[in-house]
Every structure is written in C-alpha cells, then in structure tokens.
Amino acid sequence: DQQVKQNSPSLSVQEGRISILNCDYTNSMFDYFLWYKKYPAEGPTFLISISSIKDKNEDGRFTVFLNKSAKHLSLHIVPSQPGDSAVYFCAASAGGNTGKLIFGQGTTLQVKP
Amino acid sequence: DVKVTQSSRYLVKRTGEKVFLECVQDMDHENMFWYRQDPGLGLRLIYFSYDVKMKEKGDIPEGYSVSREKKERFSLILESASTNQTSMYLCGASGNTGELFFGEGSRLTVL
C-alpha cells in the first residue's frame, strides 16, 4: 500500500515559468513532510519541509503548500531554471523527528531553456 | 551539514555472493537508514537503526541484514545476492531535526 503517492511520473516546463509538483498521502498520522531533489548518480538532497501545523513554507524560489483536509501537498518552483531539472521526491514521517521517512515514487522535472 | 559517505559507488557481483555496503556519517547522529531506489517505486526503507547495536526492519527487509557496531557506521549485508537486488542503495543519517541526509548512493548490479 503506497502511503505517499506522486501520480505524475514526469513534468516539463519552460524556463522562467512555474513548476508545480504534487503529492498525496493516505496516513493521517503523518505530521512532517519533506521534498528531496535527486540528480542522476547522486544521493537525494533535502530541499524544503513543512510541519503539519502549517499550511505553507517558503524558501527562496521554493514554496511547499500543505492541505491536510485533502491530504495533499505541492511544491512550487518559481521561476523554474534548467538546473532544477531532476527527480523530486515527496516524503512524510509520523510521530516526531525520527528521520524515518516514507517516500513517493518521484516526479522527473525537466526545465527547458 | 552532515556528511554521509558510502564506501562503494559502483559494484558488480554474482548471484549468491555475499555483499557488504558500508556507510559512515560524521555528525554523531543517532539515526541511520538504508533505502533502495528503483524506477517507479521511489525510495523504500530496508532497515534502520536508532542506536548502536540496535536495528529495526523497514518495509522490505527480506534478503538483507544490517550491522551497527559503532555509532558512525551502518552496514548493509546481502547474505546471498540475487538479481532482484540490483538497485541503487542509499544510506541516510538524521538527528533530532527530522531531516535525513543521504550519501551519494551505491549502484549494485547482480549478474
């Protein structure tokens, strides 16, 4: 049973436009959500996170929105740059800051110049 | 930032061989994890450890074991490698922030 789902395997956007990556979850016990970015042949790197007590967190070009009633979160990248092209993973955890994360399947973002 | 180092970036092994994947972190974090990444499946948790000599099964522990003799080191062991264990293996470490730091990954091919 996939508790964290990223239903779009890929996304292509033009440089300068907004990229929106989506993630759905089923476990209402999740209280902390993270986004990771991964380039080929490298480990994932942390991008941004949000606690379940918030509905928005912003860090530069990256904003994460959380809709708890819909069990949905999204990552907005504005403006998108070619260097943002990577696989993006949504992750969630329950019960505190253990670091034990459940990941989605990933979305491959391609930003075209 | 936490630095997580995985000893081998690329390995090729034969079916039935015993495989050791080593991981070391340099920030004195209590929690360490082993995931595997496969296309279309994302990252799946194999084993994790919250303390020295302590281990817990993740979602897909079958065919794997782990060892944590020292706080900074967490090893993944494939007792008898099989072709379906061909994958990218990722080691992670975390402290009390909940943020998980990953190594660069070990690409294992089992022939």
pLDDT for B22-33, tens place per residue?
A: 999 998 888 999
Instruction: Give whole-number Cα distances, B104 to A6, A45, A83, B80, B107, in Å.
Output: 23, 9, 19, 24, 10
pLDDT tens track for B7-46: 889 999 999 999 999 999 998 888 999 999 998 899 999 9
Beta bridge partners of B37: B43, B88
Label residue A40 exposed, middle or buried (CB < 10 Å: 0-12, 13-18, 19+): exposed
Least confident of A6-10, A22-26, A40-44, B80-84: A40-44
pLDDT tens digits, B47-92:
999 989 889 999 999 999 999 999 999 999 999 999 999 999 999 9
Give residue ranges of A with CB < 8 Å to any B CB.
Answer: 4, 6, 9, 32, 34, 36, 41-46, 49, 89, 91, 93, 96-106
What local confidence, expressed as pLDDT, does residue A94 receive?
83
Residue B1: predicted pLDDT: 61
| Partner A contacted by B96 (CB < 8 A) | yes
Secondary structure class of A84 (helix, strand, coil):
helix
Q: At residue B97, does pLDDT exceed 80?
A: no
Q: Best of B9, B37, B43 to disrupt the A interface by mutation (most A CBs within 10 Å)?
A: B43
pLDDT on residue A2: 81
pLDDT for residue B98 is more than 80: no
Report the alpha-carbon angle B99-B45-B15, nearest 5. 135
Average pLDDT (A81-89) is 97
With bands split at pLDDT 50, 70 and 90, how would you rate the model's confidence at A97?
low
